[in-house]
Amino acid sequence: MARVTAIEKGKEVEKMKRHVVALTLFAAALLCALMPLPTEAKDEKVTIVAFGDSLTAGLGLPENESFPAQLEAALKARGQDVTVINAGVSGDTSTAAVQRLDWALPEDASAVIVELGGNDALQGIPPEGTKAALAKIIEAAQAKGLPVLLAGMEAPRNMGKDYVDAFHAIFPELAAKYGVVLYPFFLDGVALDDSLMQGDGIHPNAKGVAKIVAQIMPKVDELLAQVKSKR
């Protein structure tokens, strides 16, 4: 009887050991299931540099109503951790902007929105000069591995048909050549609406900027998708 009892006790101990092991494995599996996978971790912060002239800088507007500020607010309202840096300088031509590009792009930049050309057209700068300067900006950004969204501009009709047509062609040609995201006309739906423009008839008011942000957002989404694909 003593031998049978010892055998039974041995079996009971082994059963308990297996139970403990099973519980341990279950606890480990539960812990792993509850832990977020690396790919589910919060997305890295994105920094977009809005590189342009007075239309980007927000001439005539409070800082929080400028294009970069309203774009950032719209993105954050959608739950996206995106910072938009205002690198707009009023009066800048495309050629002048080339000179400040290096220091305008911080080390943590993720992408660039290029909005230039308006002052070139107002000054009657030859379209080929504007195109060459914009090409340098795009090339410099891409050399840093930064996706680019190119915002187009239109020349005033009083510049003459040849000039207007040549200027218009700059932006789609550059977008095709460099494979960048294109928003054909930065002031689309705004420029000819007095209720969306400031008194100078050149710069959008806060409502005008809000409309630009809403309309350009699908292109910004394309830009952000390119940023994500590079990570």
**pTM of this prediction?**
0.82
Q: Which residues have a Cβ under 8 Å from the Cβ of 185 and sit 6 or more positions away?
A: 151, 152, 153, 154
Q: Confidence class of residue 231 from pLDDT cuts 50, 70 and 90?
A: confident
**d(C-alpha 44, C-alpha 35), whole Å:** 19
Q: Confidence class of residue 5 from pLDDT cuts 50, 70 and 90?
A: low
Other residues' Cβ atoms within 10 Å of the Cβ of residue 4: 8
Active site residues: 54, 200, 203
Q: Give residue 44's pLDDT.
A: 79
pLDDT averaged over every residue in the chain: 89
Q: Confidence class of residue 9 from pLDDT cuts 50, 70 and 90?
A: low
Residue 90 backbone dihedrals phi, psi, to 5 degrees: -60, 135
Q: Give residue 20's pLDDT.
A: 45
pLDDT tens profile 165-205: 999 999 999 999 999 999 999 999 999 999 999 999 999 99
Q: Give residue 14's pLDDT.
A: 60
pLDDT at 66 over 90: yes
Closest CA relative to residue 136, chosen from 178, 87, 85, 168? 178
Q: Which amino acid is at 79?
A: G
